[in-house]
């Protein structure tokens, strides 16, 4: 009776198990030997029921997964007396498939000893592989050096990859409430809303360059380069992915290249001033020589009596006047060269300029056995002026100082370069300890064509003073006439 | 003031600067020199055919530079004293010019007195060169009038050989040597042996023979 009563349902269960596409099996606690198995085993694992019965399942686990169940690894979950495990299992063909197995342990109600394990397993290979692909893709996104962000239709950001977080220096706790608006300058965000997102929605994809600039970002430079719209099955917008790039290094390299180019242009400019001076000397020489020839020729004729009429003299004087005008034009051209082409104000550190120019003339100084002494203002004053022009003035003063030493025989040859900022004024002093300048010459020093040098043109200080005065400053010289000279540039500092 | 010899010579001026060239001419004319100005080295080389005088040459010019003109002129065989005019800081170029055979250099702007002295000196030099050249041409003409044997004898005579040795060298009799020697003296219009040696030094046997 009892047996009979039970028979019907058991038989039905058996039938159900026979027909189940899932693998249903019973195992001994020792090495999980197959005690019983349904025919699905053949379809799933390739073994016939006869082949598999009596074999320990433990041997067929993938070596890496064999102990996951025993160790309750992360792949194993336990809920209401049922364990679920996902693991690789060896088929008859020798290949592994992924099985998801729910198992229940049967224990002796009195002793609590493990009697057997009942398992229901299904082939989840496809699912696991798809998950793995997804995981890999996610890892790529996460580890990519490109900046990746996901945001929804209302521009709320719900994901940033590691590069985005790092580059923009985002506080992770801000994630749930972070809005795209916070990562962009106002106009850029406006542009995104008005033109970029509508275009993304229309074309699915947008490429361009928009500068990212969250307040938290410090010294990096990043841009959005691509936005993709992702839609669900029914075409509704699910989210946007925003892909950007940290262009700090690229930017830096470009900046360095540009800087280098500027420096080259700059050096060639300094050179060209020197060349110009020599070319100018030749040019001015021509009309001067002509004037001299005409006047001497006149004097000779008058002395010898071959020039007696006033119109002859007039003609000669006209020739002379024309050459004087020519000389004046050359000077005018020089002035406009200095004035016109080089007036570009910028902010720069005067100390660095002094050091660079000294460096530039280092070889000349060494050739004369001169050493520099720097007394630079520790506040590192910043000047707003035409850097090239100021450099030319300092270069000129330094070169003069070097040449002053070249003409005297003092034992210790020293050039002191000093910067002092005080009361909204900056002073740059260049002092030498050569033989000085006599008081009567000191006054003429800044006159055009005044020179004490064999090869000099006498324009340097005149031009220098013009430059400094154009900057609202002053340039003057002091000397005791025997122990050296100090040139001082005074310029207003920006408040 | 000036000798007639100098007065009949021309001061050639080559300078690309119109005003300077003109003023230089003006100055030289005031000292009664005959001048001939050229705006370029090319123009000068095209025109110049060995007229006596001197050349005032600007060293810094577009086209043929002063130095190149000097080299070209050396090739033509015309000997013309060159005074190089240099500008500001052209001293190294002036040195090259002198090495190339320029007789002088002058830095502009210059004092008229200095220039005129240079020009006068150059023209005197031109006169000397001219006389030298005339003497050379004369001597070479005489030399070309000698027979082959007479030339051989003259060569050996000026090298200091006695008639007997010459006879042995040329394998002829001393008597014949004596006859040749007398003919050489007469044809070369030499009064004495030293005279003949002098003439010999003026002859460029290479160019005269050709």
Which position has the higher pLDDT, B21 or A364?
A: B21
Coil, strand or helix at B29: helix
Facing A300 at nearest CB: one of B22, B30, B109 = B30
What is the DSSP-derived secondary structure letter of residue B66?
Answer: H
Nearest Cα residue to A240 out of A152, A368, A162, A156? A152
Nearest chain B residue (CA) to A317: B23
Question: What's the pLDDT at A260?
Answer: 63
Interchain CB distance below 8 Å, A289 and B88: no
Å between A270 CA and nearest CA of chain B:
20
* pLDDT at residue B169 tops 70: yes
**Which residues in chain B have their CB less than 8 angstroms from residue A282's CB?**
60, 87-89
Question: What pLDDT is recorded for position A266?
Answer: 57
Inter-chain contact B109–A323, Cβ cutoff 8 Å? no
Residues 255-294 of A with CB under 8 A from B: 278, 281-282, 285-294
Place of tokens 């013009």: A466
Contact A287 B19 (CB under 8 A): yes
Q: Is A315 on the interface with B (CB under 8 A)?
A: no
Q: Which residues of A touch B109 (CB under 8 A)?
A: 285, 288-289, 291-293
Same domain for B46 and B94, yes or no, is yes
Is A296 close to B19, i.e. CB distance below 8 A? no
At residue B50, the 3 state secondary structure works out as: coil
Domains of chain A by start residue, with CATH: 2-131 (3.30.450.20), 144-246 (3.30.450.20), 252-340 (1.10.287), 345-492 (3.30.565.10)
Write down the pLDDT at residue B2.
Answer: 46
- Does B126 map to a domain? yes
Q: Nearest-CA residue of chain B relative to A284?
A: B88
Distance in angstroms (rounded) separating the CA atoms of residues B98 and B86? 12
Q: Does A322 touch chain B (CB under 8 A)?
A: yes
B contact test, residue of A276, A277, A282, A290 with most B CBs within 10 A: A290
Q: What is the CATH number of the domain that holds B91?
A: 3.40.50.2300
Residue B140 falls within a domain, yes or no?
no
Please tell me if residue B138 touches chain A, with a CB cutoff of 8 Å. Answer: no
Q: Is residue B139 situated within a structural domain? A: no
d(C-alpha B91, C-alpha B103), whole Å: 15
Name the more confident of B108 and A324.
A324
From B80, B102, B134, the end of a domain falls on B134
Domain count of the fold of chain B: 2
The 3-class SS string of A69-111 reads CCCCCCCEEEECCEEEEEEEEECCCCCEEEEEEEEEEEECCCC
Q: Which of the residues B13, B16, B18, B20 would you substitute to probe the A interface, choosing the one with the greatest number of A C-beta atoms within 10 Å?
A: B20
SS3 B56: strand
Q: How far is A488 from chain B (nearest CA, A)?
A: 31
Question: Do A289 and B22 make contact, defined as CB atoms within 8 angstroms?
Answer: no
Considering the domain boundaries, does residue B58 fall inside one? yes
| 3-state helix/strand/coil string of chain A | CHHHHHHHHHHHHHHHHHHCCCEEEEECCCCCEEEEECCHHHHHHCCCHHHHCCCEHHHHECCCCCCCCCCCCCCEEEECCEEEEEEEEECCCCCEEEEEEEEEEEECCCCCCEEEEEEEEEECHHHHHHHHHHHHHHHHHHHCCCEEEEECCCCEEEEECHHHHHHHCCCHHHHHHCEHHHHCCHHHHHHHHHHHHHHHHHHCEEEEEEEECCCCCCCCCEEEEEEEEEECCCCCEEEEEEEEEECHHHHHHHHHHHHHHHHHHHHHHHHHHHHHHHHHHHHHHHHHHHHHHHHHHHHHHHHHCCCCCHHHHHHHHHHHHHHHHHHHHHHHHHHHHHHHCCCCEEEEEHHHHHHHHHHHCHHHHHHCCEEEEEECCCCCCEEEEEHHHHHHHHHHHHHHHHHHHHCCCCCCEEEEEEEEEECCEEEEEEEECCCCCCHHHHCCCCCCCCCCCCCCCCCHHHHHHHHHHHCCCEEEEEECCCCCEEEEEEEECCC
Chain B residues within 8 A of A287 when measuring between CB atoms: 19
Same-domain pairing of B96 and B28: yes
User: B35 with B115, same domain?
Assistant: yes
Q: Is residue B12 included in any domain, yes or no?
A: yes
Q: Is the CB of A286 less than 8 angstroms away from the CB of B19? A: yes
CA dihedral sign, ordered B6, B7, B8, B11: positive
Instruction: Give pLDDT tens digits along chain A (495 positions).
Output: 444 555 577 788 888 888 888 999 999 988 889 999 999 999 999 999 999 999 998 888 888 887 776 776 676 777 777 888 889 999 999 899 999 999 888 888 888 888 888 999 999 999 988 988 888 888 888 888 889 999 988 888 888 888 888 888 888 777 677 888 888 888 888 888 898 899 988 888 899 888 888 878 878 888 999 999 998 888 888 889 999 988 888 888 887 777 766 665 555 555 556 556 666 777 788 899 999 999 999 999 998 888 888 888 898 899 999 999 988 887 776 666 555 454 567 888 999 989 888 887 777 788 788 889 999 999 999 998 888 788 888 988 998 898 888 777 777 889 999 999 988 899 999 999 888 888 888 877 887 666 665 555 566 787 788 788 888 899 999 998 888 899 999 999 875
pLDDT of residue B94: 78
User: Quick check: B75 contacting A, CB < 8 Å?
Assistant: no
Cα B17–Cα B19–Cα B22 angle in degrees, nearest 5:
105
Q: Are A289 and B110 inside 8 Å of each other by CB?
A: yes
**CA proximity to A453, closest of A270, A278, A276:** A278
pLDDT in tens, B69-83: 888 888 887 888 999
B92 and B43 housed in the same domain? yes
- CB-based contacts of A145, cutoff 8 Å, min separation 6: A163, A246
Determine contact: B29 vs chain A, CB below 8 A.
yes
Q: Is residue B75, in this structure, part of any structural domain at all?
A: yes
Q: What is the mean pLDDT of residues B170-179?
A: 90
More confident residue, B127 or A259: B127
Last residue of a domain, one of B104, B134, B164: B134
Kindly state whether residue B159 falls inside one of the protein's structural domains.
yes
Test mutation, B26, B59, B111, B116, chain A, max A CBs within 10 A: B26
Determine the residue among B2, B18, B22, B23 to mutate to test chain A binding: the one whose Cβ has the most chain A Cβ atoms within 10 Å: B23
Domain C-terminal end among B134, B158, B179 = B134
Q: Are residues B161 and B129 in the same domain?
A: no
Give B 92-111 residues with CB within 8 A of chain A: 108-111
Task: Chain B: give the shortest CA distance to residue A305, in Å.
Answer: 10
What distance in Å separates the CA atoms of residue A34 and residue A118, rounded to the nearest whole number?
Answer: 10
The reply to whether B149 touches chain A by the CB within 8 Å rule is no
- Pairwise CB contact (< 8 Å): A292 & B112: yes
Does residue B5 surpass a pLDDT of 50? no
Q: Is residue B42 in a domain?
A: yes
**Is B112 found in the same domain as B28?**
yes
Distance separating alpha carbons of residues B108 and A289, to the nearest angstrom: 6
Nearest to B24 among A293, A304, A455 (CB): A293
d(CA B95, CA B85) in angstroms, rounded, equals 12
* Reported ipTM exceeds the 0.90 cut: no
Distance of CA B29 to the CA centre of its chain: 25
Print the domain residue range for B191. Answer: 145-209
- Within this chain, do residues B76 and B166 fall inside the same structural domain, yes or no? no
User: What is the pLDDT, as a whole number, of residue B3?
Assistant: 47
Of B191, B128, B190, B162, nearest to B203 (Cα)? B190
User: Do B99 and B183 share a structural domain?
Assistant: no
Q: Which residues pair with A120 in a beta bridge?
A: A24, A102
Query: A144-168 burial string, b = 16+ CB within 10 Å, else e?
Result: eebbbbbbeeebebebbbebbeebb
Contact between B146 and B139 under an 8 Å Cβ cutoff? The reply is: no
Is the pLDDT score of B210 beyond 50? no
Q: Which residue has the higher pLDDT, B19 or B204?
A: B19
B23 to chain A, any CB pair closer than 8 A? The answer is: yes
User: For B40-68, how does the pLDDT look when each residue is reduced to its tens digit (9 = 90+)?
Assistant: 888 999 999 888 899 999 887 777 777 78
Does the CB of B35 have a partner CB in chain A at under 8 Å? no
Q: What average pLDDT does chain B have?
A: 85
B60 contacts in chain A (CB < 8 Å): 282
Determine the distance in angstroms separating the CA of A292 from the nearest CA of chain B, rounded to an integer: 7
What are the two backbone dihedrals, phi and then psi, of residue A403, each rounded to the nearest 5 degrees?
Answer: -70, -30
Of A101, A97, A84, residue with least CA distance to A126: A97
Residue A170 CA, chain-centre distance (Å), reads 19
Residue A210 has what pLDDT? 87
Question: Do B112 and B39 have their domain in common?
Answer: yes
The verdict on B20 and B123 lying in the same domain is yes
Q: Verify that B18 and B113 share a domain, yes or no.
A: yes
Same domain, B17 and B106: yes
């Amino acid at each position: 009776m009892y047996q009979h009563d039970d028979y019907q349902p058991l038989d039905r269960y058996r039938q159900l198990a026979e027909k189940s596409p899932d693998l249903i099996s019973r195992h001994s606690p020792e090495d999980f030997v197959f005690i019983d198995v349904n025919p699905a085993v053949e379809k799933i694992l390739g073994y016939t029921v006869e082949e598999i019965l009596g074999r320990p399942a433990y041997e067929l686990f993938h070596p890496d997964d064999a102990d996951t169940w025993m160790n309750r690894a992360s792949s194993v979950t336990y809920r209401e007396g049922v364990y679920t495990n996902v693991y690789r299992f060896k088929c008859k063909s020798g290949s592994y498939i992924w099985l998801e197995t729910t198992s229940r342990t049967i224990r002796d109600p009195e002793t609590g000893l493990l009697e057997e394990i009942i398992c229901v397993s299904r082939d989840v290979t496809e699912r696991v592989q798809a998950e793995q692909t997804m995981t890999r893709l996610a890892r790529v996104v996460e580890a990519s050096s490109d900046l990746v962000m996901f945001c929804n239709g209302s521009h709320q950001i719900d994901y940033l990859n590691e590069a985005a977080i790092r580059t923009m220096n985002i506080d992770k706790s801000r994630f749930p409430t972070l809005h795209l608006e916070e990562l962009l300058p106002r106009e850029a965000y406006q542009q995104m809303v008005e033109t970029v997102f509508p275009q993304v929605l229309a074309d699915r994809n947008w490429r361009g360059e928009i500068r990212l600039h969250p307040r938290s970002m410090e010294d990096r430079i990043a841009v959005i380069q691509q936005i993709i719209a992702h839609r669900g099955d029914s075409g509704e917008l699910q989210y946007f992915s925003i892909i950007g790039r940290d262009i700090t290094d690229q930017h830096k390299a470009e900046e360095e290249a540009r800087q280098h180019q500027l420096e080259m242009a700059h050096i060639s400019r300094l050179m060209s001033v020197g060349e110009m001076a020599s070319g100018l000397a030749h040019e001015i020489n021509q009309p001067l020589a002509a004037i001299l020839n005409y006047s001497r020729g006149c004097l000779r004729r008058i002395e010898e009596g071959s020039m007696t009429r006033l119109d002859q003299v007039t003609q000669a004087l006209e020739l002379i006047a024309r050459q004087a005008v020519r000389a004046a034009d050359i000077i005018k051209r020089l002035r406009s060269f200095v004035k016109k082409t080089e007036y570009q104000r910028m902010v720069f550190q005067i100390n660095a300029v002094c050091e660079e120019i000294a460096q530039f003339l280092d070889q000349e100084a060494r050739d004369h056995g001169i050493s520099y002494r720097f007394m630079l203002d520790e506040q590192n004053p910043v000047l707003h002026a035409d850097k090239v022009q100021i450099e030319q003035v300092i270069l000129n003063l330094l070169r003069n100082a070097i040449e002053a030493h070249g003409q005297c025989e003092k034992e210790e040859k020293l050039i002191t370069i000093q910067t002092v900022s005080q009361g909204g004024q900056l002073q740059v002093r260049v002092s030498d300890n050569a033989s000085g300048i006599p008081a009567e010459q000191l006054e003429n020093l800044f006159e055009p064509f005044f020179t004490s040098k064999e090869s000099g043109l006498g324009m340097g200080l005149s031009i220098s003073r013009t430059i400094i005065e154009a900057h609202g400053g002053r340039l003057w010289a002091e000397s005791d006439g025997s122990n050296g000279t100090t040139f001082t540039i005074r310029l207003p500092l920006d408040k | 003031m000036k000798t007639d010899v100098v007065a009949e010579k021309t001061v050639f001026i080559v300078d690309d600067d119109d005003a300077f060239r003109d003023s230089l001419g003006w100055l030289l004319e005031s000292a009664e020199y005959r001048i001939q100005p050229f705006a370029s080295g090319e123009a000068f080389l095209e025109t110049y055919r060995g007229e006596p005088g001197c050349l005032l040459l600007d060293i810094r010019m577009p086209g043929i530079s002063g130095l190149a003109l000097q080299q070209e002129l050396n090739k033509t065989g015309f000997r013309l004293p060159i005074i190089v005019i240099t500008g500001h800081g052209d001293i190294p170029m002036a040195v090259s010019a002198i090495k190339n055979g320029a007789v002088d250099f002058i830095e502009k702007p210059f004092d008229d007195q200095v220039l005129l002295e240079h020009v006068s000196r150059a023209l005197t030099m031109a006169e000397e060169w001219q006389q030298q050249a005339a003497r050379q041409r004369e001597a070479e003409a005489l030399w070309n009038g000698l027979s082959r044997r007479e030339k051989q004898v003259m060569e050996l005579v000026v090298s200091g050989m006695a008639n007997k040795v010459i006879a042995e060298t040329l394998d002829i009799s001393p008597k014949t040597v004596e006859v040749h020697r007398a003919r050489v003296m007469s044809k070369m219009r030499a009064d004495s042996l030293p005279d003949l040696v002098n003439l010999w030094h003026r002859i460029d046997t290479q160019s005269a023979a050709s």
